[in-house]
Structure formats: C-alpha cells, structure tokens
Amino acid sequence: MKEYEFTLKFMLQYASIDPEIFIERLGAEGCDDALVGLGQNGRIAMTFNREASSAYQAISSAICDVKNVIPDARLIEATPDLVGLTDVAELLGFSRQNMRKLMLGSGGTFPAPLHDGKPAIWHLAKVLGWLKERNKYQIDDALLEVSNTNMQFNIVKEIKEIDPGLQDDIHTLIA
C-alpha cells in the first residue's frame, strides 16, 4: 500500500446549504484522512492523504466516500493536475527560471500546453512524464501516478460537455 496525496473540489447542489454540516459525517463515513476546506458558498474542498493500492483506488474511493455523505456533490476538479510552470517548479523544488529554461531548451519535445496563454497551463502528468523520460530528474512515482489519475478524472468530467452531434467531426479534425 502506498500513500497518495490529492485534493478533490466539489460543488454542492444548493449554495445556501452550510457545508459545515457535513464535516462530522464525512469523517465518520471514511474521510477521516482528509482536511476539509470551506471557502466559497456551495463548495467544499478536501485534501486527502489516503493509503491504497493505486492512485485510482485512493481517488475513486474518496469520491465515493464524499458522495455517500453528499450524494448531490459534483466534482469540480481533482488536483494536482492543471499547472503553470511556477507550480511545477514549486512541486519539484526548482526555480521558475530553471523550469522555463528546460521548456525553452527542449528542442520542441516539452509537452504542449493545454492552454497557451498567460499563464500557459499544462497537465502536470505530461510535464512530470517528460522530466522522468530524460532520467535527469527524480520524480516521485506517487505524485506522477496521482497527477495522471487526476488528469483522467478531469478529462472524463469535461467530456460530458461535448455536443454528441459534433464529437465525431471534431475528433476527425484534431486527430
């Protein structure tokens, strides 16, 4: 069994409900390995430190535990996943300048960003995988596994937004 650290952010069906009413029940129903954050009305975030045989098992069991207590909770985001260069640098103990130098000096092999703007955004798993392939950097296997699993959850969550009538045409255009 490995220990996996990740954060799940949920939207509650009714913003008027105080999420604090769920905290004790979440702990009693299996989320006693999480720190609960209450900020924006109608939202709840939980940072887990969960033992499991895989990142998928850890994250999926955490989602099930939350949904057992709050059935209408909707996953907004699983993190770590979407990151900028500064985020990657902080996670790995690099300077942002070093991370940027690696990206610019990659000869075009650095992963393409998900959003190429200010700031550019990448899937963390893609960047960590790229760094690991070069065998120059020690990448924590649990972090790589969690970031890859979170990427999968976040992508599948967004797929529900695709217009079925356009899906095949769009796939053909971008493949």
Tell me, yes or no, whether 34 lies in a domain.
yes
pLDDT one-digit tens code per residue, 3-54: 999 999 999 987 667 777 788 889 999 999 999 988 777 889 999 999 999 9
Same domain, 44 and 90: no
Same domain, 65 and 116: no
pTM of the model: 0.90
Same domain, 125 and 43: no
Rounded Cα gap, residues 119 and 136, in angstroms: 26
